Structure 1
Amino acid sequence: MGFFSKLFGLDKEPKVVEAEPVEYEGYRIYPEPIAENGQYRIAGRICKEIDGEVKTHTFIRSDLLASKQDAEIFMIEKAKMFIDQTGESMF
């Protein structure tokens, strides 16, 4: 059945696209805008390895922007500000 589902577009499994991380102060910022009604919600992840374990903070804002590229740029800037303000306490 899997073959026919893919053939006729019935495959509902979302395609995951891995964002390229931006390094900042030892953190990795992954901009991952969420498409909503023709716009993009600012979202992504902030990750850092602490004591051999990768900690992740999911970052979602209420802001919507017209382009995916603008949402990615804004996410990176907001994430940098968040890192500067909270540091490792975000985890």
Structure 2
Amino acid sequence: MASFLKDLWNRLSGKSGAAQREEPAAEAVEYKGFRIRPAPYSARGGYQTAGIIEKDFETGLKEHRFVRAETHPSKDEAASFAIVKARQIIDEQGDSLFR
């Protein structure tokens, strides 16, 4: 469990290392003025749900990275689910996501 939390923290904080073989985020999807970039990564024999939500403000670009507990058998399934989860986050939190 501790190594999982350490890996999660490293991914969220952008630290590099052997466990950081994260592939580039997929093509962005526009939704209600936000950009969603699915960013699934290999984990526990599947692909972890993860992504980036971005929005341009007068003060510049803001982004929110998220990781969810769900894993999927394929990268494409994880990417599709990340878009669904990001839309849910946007619908629930809107711009307050970046505060």
Runs of 4+ in structure 1 off by over 6 angstroms are none
Structure 2 residue 51 is the aligned partner of structure 1 residue 60: no
Max Rg structure: 1
User: Corresponding residue for 2:14?
Assistant: none
Q: Displacement, 1:37?
A: 3.0
Per the normalisation by structure 2, the TM-score is 0.73
CA spacing shift, 1:15–1:56, aligned 2, 3 Å: closer
- Partners in 2 of 1:15 and 1:64 — Cα distance? 15
Q: Does structure 1 residue 51 correspond to structure 2 residue 23? A: no
Picking from 31, 46, 55, the partner of 1:39 is: 46
How many residue pairs were aligned?
80
Change (3 A) 1:43 1:18: closer
Structure showing the higher helix proportion among its residues: 2
Could you say which residue in structure 1 is the equivalent of 2:12? none
Alignment CA distance shift 1:58-1:73 (3 Å): same
* Equivalence for 1:83: 90
- Residue identity matched to 1:61: R
**Could you state the TM-score of these two structures normalised by the residue count of structure 1?**
0.79
Q: In structure 2, how many angstroms separate the alpha carbons of the residues matched to 1:49 and 1:66?
A: 33
SS in 1 for 2:86: helix
Residues 12-27 of structure 1: matches in 2 within 5 Å? Answer: 14=21, 16-27=23-34
What is the percent sequence identity of the aligned residues?
40
